[in-house]
Amino acid sequence: MEKEAKIYVAGHRGMVGSAIVRELEKQGYHNIITRTHKELDLTNQAAVNDFFEAEKPEYVFLAAAKVGGIVANKEALADFMYENMILEMNVIHAAWKNGCQKLEFLGSSCIYPRMAPQPIREDSLLTSELEETNEAYALAKISGLKYCEYLNRQYGTDYISVMPTNLYGKNDNYHPTHSHVLPALIRRFHEAKETGATTVTCWGDGSPLREFLYVDDLANLCIFLMNHYSGNETVNAGTGKELTIKELTEIVAEVIGYTGNIEWDTSKPNGTPRKLLDVSKSAQLGWQYQTELKEGIQLAYEDFLTNPMRAER
């Protein structure tokens, strides 16, 4: 991408989109286009077409999505599938119709089969069944990346996709029930510390293995791939390192300064037992993550404390 190129970041107010905007500005890109949901409803096909016809962005980062944790996904299966599929199809199609040079689609590691061989390679996609608790979201994301692939194959476009592992960092969602595991733990332990609670109860049994990537590292990879990668197969984004949820809770408690007991509610679901991405592809391309987990959690906690709007939603 040329420094003066017109770049549209869809979903710039979200955790990933805002990180991409920060990284673009850091690297000297200055012609960045954004629209709030109020200004542009990405589920409105006519509005999206009008926007692309008027602005003609040369590059698009598609980071907009309806997201949530296990509870949100399980309670709103139809909403997660419909809204994500509609908005991504509208943006990708409008980009193609209006001659966008390159588009990058942001997905999620939940697209991979529940019992995929670990670490999960990009070519394990669609080889077996998905995790039931986020199947609807996964199917929508798979559709988006496949549409990019099919446009490349049929029309010769240069549309790519990147599949991040579990993300965390600045501008995360700390909702008490509709957030992902790490921000949910940050809020829970912070509130326990503030109220002097002697016990914090966490879901499941603490055994699932997870990998976490700091969102600013993802943003750096996204721009790296836009400049250095073309291909139909997606690219995994992660650290290649994993830990148990139990180990994660202990790190979060340490960072926040909570010294009480941690108990486990085994009546609640664990989710996928293990989810570690094979990141050899991004490594071969020449990219490496920078932020270690404990440092990233400290940065995320600072953001939680200094962004009351984020902490309350």
Select the highest-mean-pLDDT range: 60-69, 70-79, 179-188: 179-188
Q: Per the domain annotation, does 191 fall within a domain? A: no
Rounded to an integer, the average pLDDT of 168-181 is: 84
pLDDT value for 302: 95
**At residue 70, does pLDDT exceed 80?**
no
301 is catalytic: no
Q: Which residue among the candidates 8, 112, 137, 168 is catalytic per the annotation?
A: 137
pLDDT value for 313: 46
Q: Which domain holds residue 162?
A: 7-172+212-239+276-291
Q: Per the domain annotation, does 180 fall within a domain? A: no
Q: Per the domain annotation, does 20 fall within a domain? A: yes
pLDDT value for 267: 93
The CATH code of the domain that includes 148 is: 3.40.50.720
Per-residue model confidence as pLDDT tens digits over 143-163: 999 999 999 999 999 999 999
Q: Per the domain annotation, does 165 fall within a domain? A: yes
Per-residue model confidence as pLDDT tens digits over 29-46: 999 999 999 999 999 999
Confidence at 270, pLDDT banded by 50, 70, 90: confident
Q: Per the domain annotation, does 261 fall within a domain? A: no
Q: How many domains does the chain have?
A: 1
Q: Per the domain annotation, does 137 fall within a domain? A: yes
Name the average pLDDT for the chain: 93
What residue type is 261 in one-letter code?
N
Q: Per the domain annotation, does 192 fall within a domain? A: no
> Which residues are within 8 A (CB) of 280 and not within 5 positions of it... i.e. 6 or more apart?
none
Q: Per the domain annotation, does 184 fall within a domain? A: no
